[in-house]
Amino acid sequence: MVSVSGTTIPDSKLARDVTQFVRDTEDDLLFFHSSRVFFWGALAGRRQNLRYDSELLYVAAMFHDVGLTAHYHDSQRRFEVDGADAARNFLKAYDIAGSDIEKVWTAIALHTTPGIPEHMHPEISLVQVGAGMDVAGRGYEDFTDSQRKAVVAAYPRDDDFKSGMINAFYEGMKRRPNTTFGTFNDDFLAFKDPTFQRADLCSIILHSPWGTKKPIA
């Protein structure tokens, strides 16, 4: 059992089943990433003295990128929603309160939406904290060197992770570009595909069917 500063993966049937499901569903890059997200989130929660359900945090962290996997490449919904729904359906087979299932759903659905999760339940905010740390290094200095080394030793993050993660996002969303509107997910498509055209809300407003009686300044 991996332990980092007293933080461990919950020892429960649900956690073990989640681990097996995600291990069978994701490649090494996403599985190790999701595992690290749990530890970064859990360690941040302990540092901030937040009261959170470790099992719920683990489920949300492990499912948060399931929507990027090949099974969902032809989906026309946001990948976050696909992952959130997968977690919700998985949890229905267990004795989990509906309100807790919705916490997990929301944590996954909002993990790429800045400015909102940090004002919600810790299980929701900490998934975003963990994902931001692992992908973009947000809050990197808040973790000790020993914590970082221990997590990466258990769940490797090699030199190819950065480009690998960009590719995973691109492959997961290139067939559903419209779902990236209003998020930073369109950055991945713009980076990988020079023909990608971002949607522009101002243009959408100006060309809406609503008429106007005055010129636009």
Each residue of 75-131: pLDDT tens digit?
999 999 999 999 999 999 999 999 999 999 999 999 999 999 999 999 999 999 999
Tell me how long the chain is: 217
Q: Which residue has the higher pLDDT, 217 or 154?
A: 154
Please say if the pLDDT value at position 172 is more than 70. Answer: yes
> Is the overall model pTM greater than 0.75, yes or no?
yes
Q: What pLDDT, on a 0 to 100 scale, did the predictor assign at position 2?
A: 79
Closest CA to 91 of 129, 60, 61: 60
Q: What pLDDT, on a 0 to 100 scale, did the predictor assign at position 102?
A: 98
> In angstroms, what CA-CA distances link 165 with 15, 96, 103, 134, 135?
25, 32, 25, 10, 8
How would residue 214 be classed by pLDDT, with cut points 50, 70 and 90? low
Q: What pLDDT, on a 0 to 100 scale, did the predictor assign at position 4?
A: 87
Q: What pLDDT, on a 0 to 100 scale, did the predictor assign at position 88?
A: 98
The radius of gyration of the chain's CA atoms, rounded to the nearest angstrom, is 19
Please say if the pLDDT value at position 21 is more than 70. Answer: yes
Task: Compute the average pLDDT of residues 174-195.
Answer: 96
The CA distance from 41 to 6, in Å, is 13
Helix axes 54-63, 79-91, angle to 10 degrees: 130
Q: What pLDDT, on a 0 to 100 scale, did the predictor assign at position 96?
A: 96
Please say if the pLDDT value at position 216 is more than 70. Answer: no
How would residue 213 be classed by pLDDT, with cut points 50, 70 and 90? low
Residue pair 127/107 in contact by the 8 Å Cβ criterion = yes
How would residue 3 be classed by pLDDT, with cut points 50, 70 and 90? confident
